Amino acid sequence: MKLREVHRVTGEFSERLEVTCVMPGIYGAIARQMDKKPQLIADSMSDLLTHCNWYHKVKYDNGHYAFGALSTNPFFSKSSNFASINDSILLIEGTAFTIDGKLVPDDSPQIAVKILERYLRDGDDFINSIGGHFNLLIFDKNRNRLQILNDKLGFSHMYWYLDDEVLLFGPELKAFLSWANLDKTVDIASVGTFLTRECPHGTETLFKNIKMLAPAHRLVWDGNDLSISPRWEHKVKPELNKSVSDFADEAYELFRNSVSKRLPDSCLDSVTVPVTGGLDSRLLLHQVKDRQKLDLVTYGQEDCIETVISRQLCSVMKLDSKHRLIEVNPDWAGEYARKAVWFNDGQVNCRNSTLIGVSQQLTEGTVPLLSGIIGPYLSIGTGKFCTNSDLEYITDTELLRNKILKSTGVASKAAELKQFINPELVTELTDGAKQQIWDSFTPWLDLPTFADQKMMHMHFNLGRRMQSTLFIHRLYCHLLTPFVDEDLFDLWLRIPMQKKFGNQVYIEMYKKHLKELAEVPWSRTGHDLFAGKLAIKSDQKKRLRYRKFSEFVRKASLGYVNPRLKTEYYDRAAWARRNSIFSEEFANVLGNVNSTGCDWFNQKEVSRSLKELRRGKDWHFDTLIQIYTMIVWHEQFVQKSPCGKELI
C-alpha cells in the first residue's frame, strides 16, 4: 500500500460534543492541512447516513478532527458509548460487548469508560481483551493519534479513503460523497467481481480509492502517516476427540448465550422475529418464546410452503396469536429497486427491494429484530459447499487458483458475461474479477484443507458483504444477528471439517435439544428432521418435476402463464415479465444501458436477453438484475451524486 506523505497536525483544539436523534456505525473526517477544518464534511456524512429520523448519535469536533457514532441500538447513549479520560477519547458502536470474556450488557452504564480505562492501562494490547460486534475509535490527543478497530469477524462495515486533503472513514460508501473532491474513479475489477460474484471481494469496493477495513484489523492515523495492520489471526483448530453430539450440546448453549448477550433483560420493547420454514428462524424464536412482547412475522405469499410451515411452528410453540403474514406486494420490487441500490451502496444487487416494503410494515424504531440469514454456514456448518473431495491441501498454486475460480462460479459466470460486455472491456472486467477473487482467497492459504480455505473465504466475502448489507431491515429496526458471534465462530473453528458437512451438528442439536421443533417440516426438504433419506429424495424429485413443468409452461406460453412455485417466497423473475411497475423500471434502465455514462455493456445483447426473459427464460434474470444494479449505482454514486462539502 502506497500512502502519500502528510503534514503533521498541530495547534490548539476546540471541542464540540453533542448528542442528537438523527445508520449504525462510526464515521468521521480529518483535514490533512493544518489550517483547514472538516466539520461541514462530517455533518454531511451524518446526513447521508440518516435513513430514519429516530437514529441516535454522538458527534465530536476537535480542530482538524470531526467524527461521530450513530446507532439503532436502544441503549446507545453519550454516557455509555462515549468516554473522555486524560485527553484520550473513545467511541464505540455495536452490541454483545465482553471484557476478558465477561459480558458487559448493552444496557450497562459507561461501557466506553470501562474499555478506555483498559486502553490507558494496557496500551494497544487492550483490544485483545475486548469482544463483541463493533467498530471502535480511540483518539489520543496528546499523541495526536487516532485508531479505528473492528471486531474479529468484521461484519460491522468500516470503509476508509485518503487523498492529499482528507482522511475519511465510515460505515457506508454513500457517506464519502460528502467530500467535494472525492476521487470517484470506479474500480473495474470490483465491477467485474460484482457482475460475476454478486459483490466486491476482499477490501476492495466499487470506488478504486475507497477500501474496506478487513476483519480484526487496526487503522492508525498519527497525523503524519496512515497504517493498517492485523491484530488477530483466524486459525482452524479442530478437536478430533469430540463427537457430533458433543458439539451439538456446546452449540445449543452458545446459541442461547448469543441471543441473551444481544437482548438484555431490561429490553422492554417488542422483539421482532421473521419466521420462515427454515431452521435458523425457529431456533431464534425458541430463544425468545417466553418474552411478553413478540411480533412474529412471515413475509411472502399466503399459500407458499414457508407460510404454511411458519404457522405450524407458531402453533407448536403456542404463539399463534402473535404471528402475522406480511404478504409481499409485487409492486414493491419496482417501486423500491432504486432505493435498494442506494441503501446497499451497490455492494449487492437490488433483489431485496421488496424488503423495504416489508420493513415499512414492521414497527419502526429501536425495536430489536433477530435475523438468521445464512446462520449455520457462519457458525457450525458448511451446508452444500464442501464434500470429501475438498479434504485435501493443494500445493500447486495454479491448480488451487483454478479450483477456487471454478468452485465460486466466477470462471463460468465470466464466460457467460462476455456477451453482455463491450468487447474492448471484456478482458479487463473478467480478468479483474478473477484476480480479485484470488487475491481475497490468499489470506487463507495456510489453512489445512481446501474446504477450510473455501469456507473461510465465503465467510469473509459473500457472508460478510451479504449478511450485513442484504438485510434492508437494519435501516428500519435495531437489527441483531446472533449467528455472527465470536464464540460461535470459535466453535466453527474447532469442529473438524468432515463433521460440518450437511450441517450435521446443527441437525443433531435440533434432534437432541429441540425435538418438538425438529418434528415440524423443514422447507428445504418438506420433511421433518427425522425423515428417512428415501422419503426426502422422493419429495425432492417431485419438486424438480414440477419446476421443470413450470419452466416448460412459461416457455411455451412466452411467459404469459406462470405456474406458482410454492417453494418460493415470491417470484421476482415473473414480476419482471408481468408486474407493470417492475417491468417498466427494468425496461427503462436496461433499454438504455449507457444513459448514465456507464458504458460497459452491450445494448444489443442486453435487449435480446430482456426480450427472452419476457418469454419465460428466467435464467436471464440473475444477470440482468446485476446489470440493472450496476447502472443505477453508477447514476446515483457517480453521475448524479450529491454535492459534497469543502474544508473550511
CB 590 within 8 Å of CB 607: yes
Residue 237 lies in a domain: no
pTM: 0.93
Name 495's Cβ contacts closer than 8 Å, sequence gap at least 6: 238, 239, 247, 380, 505
Residue 147 confidence (pLDDT)? 97
Domain that holds residue 98: 15-230
Q: Are residues 369 and 478 in the same domain?
A: yes
Confidence of residue 17 (pLDDT cuts 50, 70, 90): very low
Residue 18 confidence (pLDDT)? 38
Q: Are residues 372 and 401 in the same domain?
A: no
Residue 470 confidence (pLDDT)? 64
Average pLDDT, the chain: 90
Confidence of residue 41 (pLDDT cuts 50, 70, 90): very high
Residue 10 lies in a domain: no
Q: Of the candidates 481, 512, 532, which is a domain's last residue? A: 532
Q: Are residues 487 and 440 in the same domain?
A: no
Confidence of residue 468 (pLDDT cuts 50, 70, 90): low
pLDDT at 559 over 90: no
Residue 383 confidence (pLDDT)? 79
> For residue range 389-429, what is the model confidence (pLDDT) as tens digits?
999 999 999 999 999 999 999 989 988 889 999 998 999 99
Q: Which three cell numbers stand for residue 358?
A: 416489508
CB atoms closer than 10 angstroms to residue 646: 12
- The CATH number of whichever domain residue 218 belongs to comes to 3.60.20.10
pLDDT at 556 over 50: yes
Q: Are residues 307 and 411 in the same domain?
A: no
Residue 20 confidence (pLDDT)? 34
Cα separation of 579 and 610, whole Å?
A: 14
Residue 538 lies in a domain: no
Cα separation of 217 and 231, whole Å?
A: 5
Residue 469 confidence (pLDDT)? 65
pLDDT at 4 over 80: no
Q: Are residues 327 and 427 in the same domain?
A: no
CB 237 within 8 Å of CB 448: no
Q: Are residues 364 and 283 in the same domain?
A: yes
Q: Are residues 85 and 207 in the same domain?
A: yes
Residue 434 confidence (pLDDT)? 96
pLDDT at 616 over 60: yes
CA distance to 14, 139, 151, per residue, from 65 (Å): 10, 9, 23
Residue 8 confidence (pLDDT)? 27
Q: Are residues 19 and 128 in the same domain?
A: yes
Q: Are residues 370 and 404 in the same domain?
A: no
pLDDT at 12 over 50: no
Residue 5 lies in a domain: no
First-last CA distance in the chain: 29
Q: Which three cell numbers stand for residue 49?
A: 447516513
Q: Report helix, strand or coil for 327.
A: strand
Q: Report helix, strand or coil for 219.
A: strand
Residue 198 lies in a domain: yes
Q: Are residues 63 and 205 in the same domain?
A: yes
What's the number of domains the chain is made of?
Answer: 4
Residue 314 lies in a domain: yes
Which stretch of 126-135, 453-462, 611-620 has the lowest confidence by average pLDDT?
Answer: 611-620
Q: Which three cell numbers stand for residue 100?
A: 476478558
pLDDT at 580 over 90: yes
Give the chain's length.
648
- The CATH number of whichever domain residue 518 belongs to comes to 3.40.50.620
Q: Of the candidates 182, 198, 230, which is a domain's last residue? A: 230
Q: pLDDT exceeding 70 applies to what percent of the chain?
A: 95
> Which candidate, 134, 132, 115, places its Cα nearest to that of 124?
115
Residue 389 lies in a domain: no
Q: Are residues 295 and 149 in the same domain?
A: no
Residue 312 lies in a domain: yes
Q: Of the candidates 165, 197, 230, which is a domain's last residue? A: 230
Q: Are residues 521 and 560 in the same domain?
A: no
Cα separation of 575 and 559, whole Å?
A: 10
Strands 65-71 and 56-62: antiparallel
